[in-house]
A and B are shown apart, each in its own frame.
Chain A
Amino acid sequence: MSAKGIRGNPELRRGLGSKTTDREKIMEDGPAGDWLALRSDQLLNWIDDAVYNAAEATGMREVVDRVTRPIFNFAQRFSPHPLHFGIMCCAIEMGQASAPDHDIDRLGLVYRSSPRQCDVLIVNGPVCEKLRPKLKTLYEQMPEPKWVIAMGECAISGGPYWDSYSVVAGADTFMPVDVYIPGCPVRPEALMHGFLTLQKKIREKEPGMFLRRD
């Protein structure tokens, strides 16, 4: 899969059912022309299309969308679970942010240790050439929707190691970054402000919605 994720790939996008899909044809012909053995993604696509078309035809889609969007959005805003992943000294500040002094848990930030359960990837340190493919794998393992926070100078531009032979010049050279937090190292208050900024960004974009449609 490309680093752009599932939304950037036109093939997968059609699989998820975008507006370019011919919906009537899918309802007539079935998902992939193979009714006896459905792969799990084909089954999901078929269910997705069937439910979407039923909701669209009865006019329920707009209603449900309008009702659930604020709830989904609220849930995403106040539970952005970050990956418990530390590279260098900013990771210490990340730990301090969740200590009782600056109790970051009250924003709904619960650190999870598996990328499958996470929404936010915090890049908190210099990314060296050997770490870059691993970090990219972690990013691609996270389910959509997902956000990336570049924490500290090293993750923004390489910081003091910007001209090093093995440090990548910024996390945004190989993955999309949503929020940049300057500082060397970033203070816990700044990290908290970064998460508040991310919450504002989620609220403006309103990614929560009915079904998996754009």
Chain B
Amino acid sequence: MNFKDLQKELKAIKGVSNLSLIRQNVIKIDLEKSVSKAFFTKLKEDFYFEHCSLITAVDNQPDFELVYHLSCLSGELTVDDTKMSAMIEVHIHLKRDSPSIDSVSDLWFGANWHEREAFDLMGIYFVGHPDLRRVLLPEGFAGHPLRKDYVYEIHEEEW
């Protein structure tokens, strides 16, 4: 599949908006939260994005933003007669009072720990995740420290 055809097909999908090309081989789109699981399944099975590079969360007060970086490393997607691998950058906006979204860790196994990290530090809840625990901070830590409204305490212990 060619990269130009991919852009045309992506524009036709419902829920996708603001499609733009931020580099020669990178597409950036905004996506609605409600269609996210169906869209990611389609990306993996029809458009050859078989690798999940990164899932990260941003706190744009008052809302959260999730950024998914997916790439096609197999060479099925060709970018204008070059050998570059195609990438797509999906932005999803979440409301602050309900920061939850469908998990994609059953599509891409590597998304498991990315989602755990986003839950740990930013408090995004991934529905359907098999094992949503903290990954960096100790168990029993209160709060999600990378949120902008997090207030920390200094922990001390007597010896």
Could you tell me which residues of chain B, from 101 to 142, have a CB within 8 Å of some CB in chain A?
Answer: 136-138, 141
- Given A165-B145, A166-B137; A129-B155 close (CB under 8 Å): yes
- Given A129-B138, A130-B137, A130-B138; A174-B150 close (CB under 8 Å): no
Q: How far is the CA of A173 from the CA of B136 in the complex (A)?
A: 22
Chain A residues near B159 (CB-CB < 8 A): 3-4, 173-176
Q: Is B81 an interface residue (CB 8 A)?
A: no
- Given A4-B159, A174-B159, A175-B159; A163-B137 close (CB under 8 Å): no
> Least Cβ distance of A126 to chain B in Å?
14
Chain A residues near B156 (CB-CB < 8 A): 169, 173
Q: Is B46 an interface residue (CB 8 A)?
A: no
Judge whether B150 and A165 touch: CB under 8 Å: yes
Judge whether B154 and A129 touch: CB under 8 Å: no
Chain A residues near B138 (CB-CB < 8 A): 129-130
Q: Is A168 an interface residue (CB 8 A)?
A: yes
Chain A residues near B154 (CB-CB < 8 A): 163, 169
- With CB as the reference atom, state the residue of chain A lying closest to B153: A165
Chain A residues near B5 (CB-CB < 8 A): none
Q: How far is the CA of A168 from the CA of B154 in the complex (A)?
A: 8
Chain B residues near A166 (CB-CB < 8 A): 137, 141, 145
> Least Cβ distance of B159 to chain A in Å?
4
Q: How far is the CA of A214 from the CA of B137 in the complex (A)?
A: 42
- With CB as the reference atom, state the residue of chain B lying closest to A129: B138
Contact of A163 among B136, B141, B152 (CB under 8 A): B152
Judge whether B155 and A168 touch: CB under 8 Å: yes
> Least Cβ distance of A94 to chain B in Å?
24
Q: How far is the CA of A164 from the CA of B150 in the complex (A)?
A: 12
- Given A4-B159, A173-B157; A129-B152 close (CB under 8 Å): no
> Least Cβ distance of B141 to chain A in Å?
8
27 contacts between A and B (CB under 8 A): A3-B159, A4-B159, A129-B137, A129-B141, A129-B155, A130-B136, A130-B137, A130-B138, A132-B157, A163-B152, A163-B154, A164-B152, A165-B145, A165-B150, A165-B152, A166-B137, A166-B141, A166-B145, A168-B155, A169-B154, A173-B156, A173-B157, A173-B159, A174-B157, A174-B159, A175-B159, A176-B159
Give A residues with C-beta under 8 Å from B: 3-4, 129-130, 132, 163-166, 168-169, 173-176
Interchain residue pairs A-B with the least CB separation, the first 5: A165-B145, A165-B152, A3-B159, A174-B159, A130-B138
